[in-house]
Amino acid sequence: MAEGGRAEYLVKGGLLILFVILLTFVILLTFVILTLAPLDSFYIHVFYYFLLSLAILLASIIIYCSYFDDEEQLCAGAELEIILRGAKDALYKAEIHVSEENGKTVEIHVSEEHGKKVEKAKDKRNEEVEKLKAKFLAEKENVEKLIRRYKKAEREMMELEKIKKNKWVKEMEKYDEDRHEWEEEKRKLEAQLCLEKVLYKALWEENEENGRKWERERGEMFKKLCDANAWSQLYRSLLHDLGREGSDGLKALC
């Protein structure tokens, strides 16, 4: 099919080049004839030249299209025949004869040559299928290994979470117990403090007068103590002065 298409393109190209050459030759020939002809005006020569060239060009195009339409139809018919022949031969490359008897029995006969080709193709296909199957099994095994590893890691994570949760629960229980103990001790201390305040207030109210009396007596005793200290200091200074004068008198007598 590739050789037929290449030959078709060569034929079309050759014909096109031939038409172009002929058209150019006719145009030049027409121009020479019209130029040498004894006509009245140059513009008339040009006009005749243009009409003749246009007519030749249209005729060439019509001939070219009609020829190649027929040629393309012939080529299309040939290609269709080749395709149909290839389709018939491509049916497993075998000649199949089917005979039916009462719509029940079907017999299939395959020629030996085509049968060998079919068997060879089947063997090749089976080999490819086996390779793909082995590759699939290997990939499946790898995937199963990964799944097992993932499940193992997931179980370990669950165990760690469980241990962590149990530890946290125990710590929370211990903290709750300690908190209850602290709260109980706090309540006891608060009760004891309230009792001490009440007792202190009662004792203060009971001994308030005695306390004031003791404060007055303490002040008087402190005042007397200060006076005694002053007199004692004065007495010591006098003794010191007397002792110094006595020592001076003895020194004078000596």
Q: Which residues lie closer than 8 Å to 111 by C-beta, 6 or more apart?
A: 94, 95
Question: What is the rounded distance in angstroms from the CA atom of residue 209 to the CA atom of residue 202?
Answer: 13
pLDDT at 107: 43
Encoded tokens for 154: 């997931």
**CA angle at 248 for the pair 247 and 252, rounded to the nearest 5°:** 115
Q: Which pLDDT score, from 0 to 100, does residue 172 have?
A: 76
Rounded distance, CA 54 to CA 41, Å? 20
pLDDT along the chain (254 residues), means of 10: 54 68 68 60 60 68 58 54 58 46 44 54 72 81 84 85 79 76 82 82 73 78 81 78 58 50
pTM of the model: 0.24
Per-domain boundaries in the chain: 2-90, 207-253
Count of other CB atoms within 10 angstroms of residue 106: 9
The per-residue pLDDT for range 31-68, each reduced to its tens digit, is 665 666 555 556 556 656 666 776 676 676 666 655 55
- pLDDT, position 35: 67
Buried b (16+ CB within 10 A) or exposed e, 108-146: eebeeebeeeeeeeeeeeeeeeeeeeeeeeeeeeeeeee
pLDDT at 118: 54
Rounded to 5 degrees, what angle do the CA atoms 97, 98, 103 make? Answer: 170
The pLDDT score that the predictor gives to residue 167 is 78
